[in-house]
Structure 1
Amino acid sequence: MKFKQLILALPLACLLQLASHANAQPAQESALVQARQGFTTKIIRHGQKYPAIPAPPAGVFERVQYKSPVGALSAYVTPKPEGDGKYPAIIWITGGDSNSLDEMWKPQPRENDQSAAAYRRPGLVLMLPSLRGGNDNPGQRESFYGEVDDVIAAADYLASLPYVDPKRIYLGGHSTGGTLAMLVAASTSKFRGIFAFGPVASASYYGTNYNYYDLKDKEEIKRRAPILWLNAVRSEMYVLEGAVGGNVEDLHAMRSQNMNSAIHFREVAGKTHFSILAPANEMIAEKIIAAAKDGGEVEIDSADIRELARRK
């Protein structure tokens, strides 16, 4: 779905011009953090309110709360893996209304599996956080702004669990969740690796879908535009999209501005914005578990992309 025609303040050509200047500056990890200091976002409308996250089936998830700057927020976490030791973990940010969660354990079609079920496997801990203003959480939706702090707080919660390896916490997200994951990546080095599926160059491209600030305010828009903060990313990050439709134009635009060796853009032939999820998440889960065992890193190279194109 395309939203660019709705946005008059910063069309893609203008963002590219700003990005060329921003990403040509010396790499600075705290650039987005500094840009947010002293700036207060102004929320002018509110999204739909949802009930509390539903109780999960026993043995699939545990319903927990984690402490964020706006108060206690709800989340699902998979049960403690069997055996001793510390395990790698991943936080997954859903697409659509990323602030709220529903019955994430329900099976979904393989061609559009947004459940992150691939990460519910032995040797790996999965956390699905709801964010401010979602479900019955405190605070209000801030549209890719305060939610950055919530995701970082979720990582702190995971790191505090005695069975989680705090040095091997990853972050993944799809669509709006992928856009948010990129903004988180520009704000912290807490994550071992980040996997952003189908993000956009600027969250403003979603129009009035999921944006509750003034879409004509350039300062609001700039602080929510991943393309402007590529140089701030320090964790290894893979930005993935299916080559069939989706947000391919945004992937190309961000790749054209990228001077950061920590960011890798990957386009998968034959896959869509949705069909990429199941095979790619399965591959990433396998790689995270293998890397934890051998002390290595998660890498997605050209051979992996060819393999993903073949996987159903």
Structure 2
Amino acid sequence: MSFFHYGLLAGVLFSVTACDDAKEVITIPDTGHQVTVSNQSLREARKGFSTHIIQKSFTDSGNLVTPPKDVYTLTSYPTKLGKMAAYVTPDPHDGKRHPAVIWITGGYGGLSDGEFHWQPQPRDNDQSGSAFRKAGLVEMLPSFRGEDNNPGSYEMFYGELDDIDAAYDWLAKQPWVDPDRIYLAGHSTGGTRVLLASEYSDKFRAYFSLGAVPDLKARIEGGEMMVPVPFEKTDDEYRLRSPATFIKSIKKPTWYFEGGEYYWKAFDNIAAFVKKEKIPLTINKIPNGDHFTIIAPVTEMIAQKILQDTGTECNISFSKDDLARISSEIE
């Protein structure tokens, strides 16, 4: 499994200022970066724009491993580009519709190390997403364009958002899934996809982002990437991949979690901004955790919150006691 490394820019601070034209700008000190908060939605901003992919980020690793039939089914879901591979927990055949989570893994390259998702993992670095299926939720692990022999090319936080929409559409049609209780969660690169997806679509009941970055340009220029950047490095390409730019787009309950060691201080300023604008995004810093140790306790608590979220509208919240419990469970 390859992991998204944040360390070099973890301490970068955003500040929010007003320009002469009254646009709100998020400034990244010591980098010369400025992110203008858009009044357009991310979906609106992408209309008429086509990303320019100039190189491959990785070589596809081949066919996926067939999972144990009582854990996942290897299947596919339709997209505009063609069918994409996915692991999905099997139909329990109990005649009921169940809440579901789409879990987006971190790193790069898809699900090619599939056994990782059903074999025991260390609690201090469990990126498998297994907490959801173990809690009895339906779980889907999709792969995206350019991964796992799927059509298309990896676009690094762009076209993959359309694939996430398509994964939701497919999952919502499954007879054992409650279409009104489908949630999106992910870690690291998956967490960045989740945060962007919350700005791109309001299909999901709620969104849970672990360890996302606020600004892709700052991340890329701040330290070595695990894979080559596939797109042409223009301002528009960066802007349409940076969650801080389209923070006003968020319409459904969204949560961000990160351990203190990897926490971007940018999110302190984003938290102040969303509070002022009444945007349903909550920022949670886990002081004694890091980018990996938070995953197990956070996903376990999210799973329990989802099981209890049975009303017409999402009623999930995380109290100070909840966050303290997460912190106390970090090894």
Give the alignment's TM-score, normalised by structure 2: 0.84
Counterpart-to-counterpart distance in 2, 1:75 and 1:240? 25
Taking only the aligned residue pairs, the percentage that are identical comes to 35
Aligned match of 2:252 in 235, 250, 255? 235
Shift in Å at residue 83 of structure 1? 2.0
Deviation of residue 274 (structure 1)? Answer: 0.5
Please state whether the residue corresponding to 2:103 is helix, strand or coil: strand
Counterpart contact for 2:251–2:279, Cα < 8 Å: no
Q: How far did 1:297 drift?
A: 2.1
Q: Which residue of 2 aligns with 1:138?
A: 151
CA contact (8 A) 2:263 2:285 kept: no
Distance 1:98 1:15 in 2: 32
* Contact 1:93/1:174 (8 A) holds in 2: yes
Q: Could you tell me how far 1:257 is from its partner in structure 2?
A: 3.5
Establish whether residue 56 from structure 1 lines up as the match of residue 75 from structure 2: no
Q: Read off the aligned partner of 1:114 and give its amino acid letter.
A: Q
Match of 1:18 among 6, 11, 35: 35
Give the length in aligned residue pairs: 299
Which residue does 1:85 correspond to in 2? 96
Asked if the contact 1:98–1:176 (Cα under 8 Å) also holds between the matched residues in 2, the reply is no
- In structure 2, C-alpha distance between the alignment counterparts of 1:188 and 1:116, rounded to whole Å: 22
Deviation at 1:122, TM superposition (A): 5.3
1:108 aligns with 2:121: yes
Distance 1:45 1:11, change over 3 A: farther
Residue 257 of structure 2 corresponds to residue 252 of structure 1: no
Correspondence 1:192 to 2:187:
no
Tell whether 2:239 aligns with 1:222: yes
Unmatched tracts of structure 2, length 5 or more? 1-5, 11-25
Q: Given the superposition, is the C-alpha separation of residues 135 and 212 from structure 1 closer, same or farther in structure 2, using an over 3 Å criterion?
A: same
Give the equivalent residue in structure 2 for 1:277. Answer: 295
- Distance, in Å, in 1 between the alignment partners of 2:109 and 2:207 is 17
Range 166-175 or range 302-311, more displaced: 302-311
- How far is 1:246 from its partner? 1.2
| Partner residue, 1:2 | 7
SS at 1:186 equivalent: helix
* Larger deviation, residues 46-55 vs 123-132: 46-55
5+ unaligned residues in a row in structure 1: which ranges?
none
Q: Displacement, 1:253?
A: 4.3
Q: For 1:292, what is the secondary structure of its paired residue?
A: coil
Per-residue deviation, residues 36-58 of structure 1 (Å, max 9, x unmatched): 11111111110222112211112
Q: Given the two structures, how large is their TM-score scaled by the length of structure 1? A: 0.89
Give the CA RMSD over aligned residues: 2.3
Deviation at 1:291, TM superposition (A): 1.4
SS in 2 for 1:191: coil
8 A Cα contact 1:4 1:206, kept in partner: no
